[in-house]
Structure 1
Amino acid sequence: MVRVITQETYDEVVKENIDEFEMTPEEAIKEAVAQFEAQGVDLSNIIKDLALSSGDSHEVTTIVSKLKELATQKQSDDEAILKELEALIAECNKDIARRVRAGKEGVYNILIDLLERRSKSYIEKANEKDEKIIITAFNALIALMEMQPDLLEEKGADLIKSLLDNIDKESIITPVLRWTSVCCVKHEMNRQRLFAKNIAENLKTYLKVRASIKVISESMQVIRKFTLDDDVRVEFGKAHDHAKELGVKLLEPLTQFLKDHPLPPEVSETMLTIAALLVRHELCAMVADAGAAEALFGILADNFDNVAVIVQASKLITALAGNDDVKRKLVKAGIAPIIVTLLNRHSSNAIAAALLLKAISALALREPEHSRQFFDCGAPDAMVEAMKIHPTNASVQKNGCWAIRNMVARCREQNPKFHELGVEAVLNAAYERFSQEFGFDVKSALRDLECDVKLDEQWTGKGVQMDNN
């Protein structure tokens, strides 16, 4: 079990080192850190470099106290508030320990109260002073809650919804959306709380009315955060439900945006967002009917050498292939030779190679005619070569096994070609290195290639005599 201590305990040890052993502040801190680490104490949430010159208070504590005092004054001192907010941002950006300290000091509630007052004032009569404080306060919340989203509560969620409903200025909406994304990372309850506010309608509006590129980019990040399933504290999340509902509302405007913005950097983010929402067959069909396949071919043609675009295009192709009808349309339209050419061209890039192999696997699955098209395009050479280039990359090896298996499972006449390329030695090497991670996949590929392979029995009976009476 990991041991933890409070900030106060750490501070006392440092001060004891200074007072009792006459150490310098630097020596006292170094000794305290070494002492606690030797005891197995986790110091990740502890501020180690004390602001000893400013008395007993940490810099974070001082800033929070000043903000609280300024917030309660009848006559608002905007310059002073902005100064302290900037100082808070600087401190929170240093490490998680300062963010935790600021949260414990109650700065979250101070910021929310400040934002509620200023946003109400801005909605009634927009002015630059309120706008600047709102933007800076949201940037402070972003810095504060990075990696500690637990601070969000109902009032904060209501504030987000209120601003999205009532303000359309890019300079304010952008940090609001960015803070929304921060709140959703590794926190299922926050995602559900925010999703229940029907923020999807606001995101849909930004896409349909063609808001600025910055706002749309931040909107796409929020969309993808709603589809995450990264909170280890929750056994069952609602990532699939969120993706399904968002897909119904947003896939058509997202596809239209993809068609209207086929160039980097917007195209990569759009394809990534669309792929994240394709969790059901009917959603794949919806995107295909909206013209995504045609747009995809044009994007690949215009960005043949752009690895970043190829990576996201591969994810989108794999996602679309989840629908058999869409998969057949893609192959019929000529996607197979394009993918093989791209794999040959970008085989030295492990990420691109792994994702292109995954796309081949998805397109060839249960489709012998597709497998034959890939074979005729020279896919075996490109696939085996990619696996040879990246023998230690787990993703390349695993996706390569899947692609080989799906290619030859119903087309055993392709086996001699793969053997000529030395695939058996490549797969055996992969098994030696990754047997614990995906040994079954390697053996499955070897089996369908008709190689000598020993398959383990997953379950055996105990030989007990059955009683038929």
Structure 2
Amino acid sequence: MVRVITQETYDEVVKENIDEFEMTPEEAIKEAVAQFEAQGVDLSNIIKDLALGSGDNHVVTENVARLKELCSGDKYDHDAVLKELSVLKAECEKDIARRVRAGKEGAYKVLLDLLYSKYSKLCQELSDHDAKFIINVLETITALMEMQPDLLDSKGVDLIKNILDNVENEDILVATLKWTTTCCVKHEMNRQKLFAKNIAENLKLLLKVTGNYKLLSDTLQVIRKLTLDDDVRVEFGKAHDHAKELGAQMLEPLTNLLKENTKPPLVSELMLTIASLLVRHELCKMVADCGVDVLFTVLADNYDNVTVVQQADKLITALAGHDDVKRDLVKSGIVPVVVSILSRHSSNANATALTLKCIAALCLREPTHGQQFIDSDAPEAIVECMKVHPDNANVQKNACWAIRNMVARCRGQNVKFHELGVEAILNAAYDKFASDFGFDIKSALRDLECDVKLDEQWTGQGVQLEH
């Protein structure tokens, strides 16, 4: 069990090291950190630099206090507030400890009140000065809430929705979307609250805005974050429901955007977003009906771009979840393209693993597809990748899946893999990864008709059964 302490406890120990043991501040900090770490104490939420002060004199504490004082009246000095916002943002960007400290001091409420004080102007024609001020506040609250999204309350949710509903200034929208993204990471309830406000409709409208890469990129990020299932505190989230609803509304415009943006910087984000929404068969079919031929254009235009290739692999794998779409992809000629990509980017472990997973998905329960991959020299490429990345678990596991799905219903092609020496490679992989995915390796060996000892998963206890 992880042990935690308060900032005050840490400060007292450092102060004691200085006063009683006559250490320098640097020595006192080093000794205190070593002492607590030896006791198994988690110091991630502790500000360790004594040079910033101690107790009530921490820079963060003083900064938040000055902000409260400056904003206490109906009118305040904007330039002075901007100066303090700059300090608070810089402190929050340093580490989680400072963000936690600022949160405990009430920085969130101060910043939210500042935004609400300007809300009436948000719906009007903004001056450059007002726009700059609002963006600064939004950027500061985003920095404050990084890795501590619990600060968001119903008032903050309402403000996000109101800004997206009423504001036309694109820079303010970008800052608001970044704040929204931060609120959604590792926080299921925030995602549900925002989704309940029908934020999906705002995101759909933002997809239609042209000529602003940042705005579109941040819109795509929010869409993806709403489909996450990363909050360990929640047993059952609504990631699937969110993805299903977002997919029904947005897959068509997203696919059309992909047709218009087949090169970086947007192509990778568009494919990643589309793939994250393909959680049901009808959604895969929707994208296919919009035209998956764009994938061939994307791969042709970005053949040497490993980042784009990886996202294309993810999208093809997701689309292959629908059997009819998978067959249409193969009929369209995707097989030689995928094999060529595997060979081209064989030196990159991540790209190799994703391409192998793509091959496995395209061959699943489709013997004719497996035959096409074999005819396109996929065995040579797969075996070569396994040799290049013998210590990479993802490459080895996905290669096992690809081999299995290629030969499971096409055993006549086993000889090709045997000629390439795949049995020895698989056995070597088993020696390294038996505890991780030994079953997958043995299954590949079994379908290749190699000598393999399969473990009996369950055996009786010798007790006679009675009717």
What residue in structure 2 maps to residue 34 of structure 1?
Answer: 34
- After superposition, the Cα gap between the structure-2 partners of 1:302 and 1:282, relative to the gap in structure 1 and judged at 3 Å, is same
Residues of 2 paired with 1:242 and 1:103: CA distance? 29
- After superposition, the Cα gap between the structure-2 partners of 1:271 and 1:53, relative to the gap in structure 1 and judged at 3 Å, is closer
The structural deviation recorded for 1:56 is 4.8
SS of alignment partner, residue 279 of structure 1: coil
1:110 and 2:110 are equivalent in the alignment: yes
The letter of the residue matching 1:218 is D
1:344 and 2:343 are equivalent in the alignment: yes
- After superposition, the Cα gap between the structure-2 partners of 1:24 and 1:282, relative to the gap in structure 1 and judged at 3 Å, is same
The structural deviation recorded for 1:17 is 2.1
Report which stretch shifted further, 104-113 or 14-23. Answer: 14-23
1:128 and 2:128 are equivalent in the alignment: yes
What residue in structure 2 maps to residue 287 of structure 1?
Answer: 287
Residues of 1 paired with 2:377 and 2:162: CA distance? 56
1:49 and 2:49 are equivalent in the alignment: yes
What residue in structure 2 maps to residue 244 of structure 1?
Answer: 244
- After superposition, the Cα gap between the structure-2 partners of 1:134 and 1:27, relative to the gap in structure 1 and judged at 3 Å, is same
What residue in structure 2 maps to residue 176 of structure 1?
Answer: 176
Q: Deviations over 1:124-164 (max 9, x none)?
A: 44222221111111111111111111111111111100000
1:447 and 2:446 are equivalent in the alignment: yes
- After superposition, the Cα gap between the structure-2 partners of 1:53 and 1:195, relative to the gap in structure 1 and judged at 3 Å, is closer
The letter of the residue matching 2:351 is A
- In the superposition, the TM-score normalised over structure 1's length comes to 0.97
- In the superposition, the TM-score normalised over structure 2's length comes to 0.98
The structural deviation recorded for 1:33 is 1.6
Residues of 1 paired with 2:334 and 2:246: CA distance? 28
Indicate if the aligned counterparts of 1:78 and 1:129 stay in contact, CA closer than 8 A. no
Report which stretch shifted further, 35-44 or 380-389. Answer: 35-44
Residues of 2 paired with 1:429 and 1:15: CA distance? 56
The structural deviation recorded for 1:53 is 6.0
The structural deviation recorded for 1:332 is 0.3
- After superposition, the Cα gap between the structure-2 partners of 1:56 and 1:281, relative to the gap in structure 1 and judged at 3 Å, is closer
SS of alignment partner, residue 462 of structure 2: coil
Q: Deviations over 1:27-79 (max 9, x none)?
A: 22222222222222111110011246699510000100011111112322000
Indicate if the aligned counterparts of 1:118 and 1:133 stay in contact, CA closer than 8 A. no
Q: How does 1:58-457 map to 2 (within 5 A)?
A: 58-210=58-210, 212-291=212-291, 293-457=292-456
Residues of 1 paired with 2:55 and 2:334: CA distance? 68
Q: Deviations over 1:209-238 (max 9, x none)?
A: 436221110010011111111111111111
Indicate if the aligned counterparts of 2:53 and 2:59 stay in contact, CA closer than 8 A. no
- How many residue pairs are counted as aligned between the two chains? 467
Residues of 2 paired with 1:66 and 1:153: CA distance? 23
The letter of the residue matching 1:396 is V
SS of alignment partner, residue 464 of structure 1: coil
Indicate if the aligned counterparts of 1:119 and 1:134 stay in contact, CA closer than 8 A. no
Indicate if the aligned counterparts of 1:424 and 1:446 stay in contact, CA closer than 8 A. yes
Residues of 2 paired with 1:56 and 1:65: CA distance? 10
Report which stretch shifted further, 130-139 or 116-125. Answer: 116-125
Residues of 2 paired with 1:211 and 1:307: CA distance? 26
The letter of the residue matching 2:436 is E
1:15 and 2:21 are equivalent in the alignment: no
Indicate if the aligned counterparts of 2:14 and 2:32 stay in contact, CA closer than 8 A. yes
Indicate if the aligned counterparts of 1:51 and 1:59 stay in contact, CA closer than 8 A. no
- After superposition, the Cα gap between the structure-2 partners of 1:414 and 1:14, relative to the gap in structure 1 and judged at 3 Å, is same
The letter of the residue matching 2:326 is K
Report which stretch shifted further, 101-110 or 456-465. Answer: 456-465
Report which stretch shifted further, 129-138 or 94-103. Answer: 129-138
Report which stretch shifted further, 25-34 or 247-256. Answer: 25-34
RMSD: 1.3
Residues of 2 paired with 1:200 and 1:382: CA distance? 43
The letter of the residue matching 1:347 is S
SS of alignment partner, residue 450 of structure 2: coil
Indicate if the aligned counterparts of 1:311 and 1:352 stay in contact, CA closer than 8 A. yes
- After superposition, the Cα gap between the structure-2 partners of 1:431 and 1:464, relative to the gap in structure 1 and judged at 3 Å, is same
Q: Deviations over 1:66-106 (max 9, x none)?
A: 11111112322000010000000110111111011001101
The structural deviation recorded for 1:348 is 0.8
The letter of the residue matching 1:113 is D
The structural deviation recorded for 1:13 is 1.5
Indicate if the aligned counterparts of 2:11 and 2:54 stay in contact, CA closer than 8 A. no
Residues of 2 paired with 1:364 and 1:170: CA distance? 45
SS of alignment partner, residue 42 of structure 2: coil
Residues of 1 paired with 2:23 and 2:199: CA distance? 55
SS of alignment partner, residue 210 of structure 1: coil
The letter of the residue matching 1:88 is L
* Identity within the alignment, %: 70
Residues of 2 paired with 1:37 and 1:260: CA distance? 53
Indicate if the aligned counterparts of 1:119 and 1:130 stay in contact, CA closer than 8 A. no
SS of alignment partner, residue 346 of structure 2: coil
SS of alignment partner, residue 286 of structure 2: helix
The letter of the residue matching 2:133 is I
The letter of the residue matching 2:177 is L
Residues of 2 paired with 1:280 and 1:56: CA distance? 54
Residues of 2 paired with 1:55 and 1:435: CA distance? 52
- After superposition, the Cα gap between the structure-2 partners of 1:420 and 1:52, relative to the gap in structure 1 and judged at 3 Å, is closer
The structural deviation recorded for 1:390 is 0.3
Residues of 2 paired with 1:378 and 1:415: CA distance? 13
The letter of the residue matching 2:455 is D
SS of alignment partner, residue 221 of structure 1: helix
Indicate if the aligned counterparts of 2:115 and 2:137 stay in contact, CA closer than 8 A. yes
The structural deviation recorded for 1:358 is 0.6
Residues of 2 paired with 1:462 and 1:28: CA distance? 62
Report which stretch shifted further, 36-45 or 420-429. Answer: 36-45
The letter of the residue matching 1:8 is E
Indicate if the aligned counterparts of 2:209 and 2:216 stay in contact, CA closer than 8 A. no
